[in-house]
Amino acid sequence: MPVKILAHGDADGICSAALVRARFPNAEVWFTRPVTLAKDLEEIELGTTTIILDIAISEGHKDEIFQYMRELAQHDEVLYIDHHPLPPDVLREDVPATQFVHMIGESTSELTYKLFREALPPELDRVALWGAIADYATETDFVREELNKYDRRTIYMEAGLLSQALGEAGGEYHYKREVVIKLSRGIPPSEVPGIVERAIKSTRREWEIWRYVREHVIREGNLAIIYDLPSGSLSKGALYALGTAGTDVGLCTRRKGDEVDISVRRRGDVRLDLNTILRRITSRIGGSGGGHEGAAGATVPADIFDDFLNSFKREISPIIRRG
């Protein structure tokens, strides 16, 4: 029976896919995103075991996603492993997978490893650790316990190399697929061809982003904004914006054609659910958005970006007024 993996292309998604491929060595690996998941599910042949990893359920596309999942589940297994908050009107039992593994606060890599643990070589716990560290999901009993088996500086170095290199790879899905295969065989990131060079290149670019943010950040009360970051990671731009400006919230944008991509970050001690806020705004005015409580993103049509920004400012106004 064919097995198809649909995974997010970041380090957590890559590590999750590697763990699944270690369990199913002939599985085909695809990379997808919340807004393209429905389309990718539509293309899967009936009778295929489908495993979805680290993909948030898009509020605007959930009906299509669930429709295709139901069709696939009538003919074979559909396994969905994820750690993103569910849309406000969706319960666990609403997700029509034959098995739905979901837990906020744990990385998808950790969830995947624990699910398949008995069928995996014990040294692949490192892969789960790398995914968890890269996704900032380290405050779990599993991570604390497994880290005791290793020198944590080495584990963190490998996770950093992997995360930075994958950020530089961007949409090079052929390369990311090769990384999945290497990790599934127990090869650490530092021994994967190209990882170190890509990680160094990505890190140098990040310092360029940091310098650009420092010179162009705009502070509006307790909100720091970078408009139209020329290149590099929007999430890092948002993080550096709040760090440079000393605010509680940072927002970074980039226009691509008729759309604007947006990334938002908050300080760890700020009680603000960015996932819920972005989902609520985009469901009302258009576009798509979501993520985690402290780190989320959105894509909106360029002609409504001002409406988005004004709505976002109103949503977080109790925080902004403290600036």
Go through the domains of the chain in sequence order and give each one's CATH number.
Answer: 3-197 (3.90.1640), 217-320 (3.10.310.40)
Give every residue of the chain whose pLDDT is below 50, as ranges: 323
> Which residues, 6 or more positions from 156, have their beta carbon under 8 angstroms from its beta carbon?
133
The DSSP call for residue 81 is E
Are 120 and 102 within 8 A, CB to CB? no
What's the rounded Cα separation, in Å, for the pair 194 and 201?
11
Question: Could you read off the pLDDT of 103-136 as tens digits, one per residue?
Answer: 999 999 999 999 999 999 999 999 999 999 999 9
pLDDT of residue 323: 46
Residue (of 273, 30, 65, 62) closest to 173 by Cα position: 30
As a whole number of Å, the CA-based R_g of the chain is 19
What's the rounded Cα separation, in Å, for the pair 191 and 185?
12
pLDDT of residue 319: 65
pLDDT of residue 320: 55
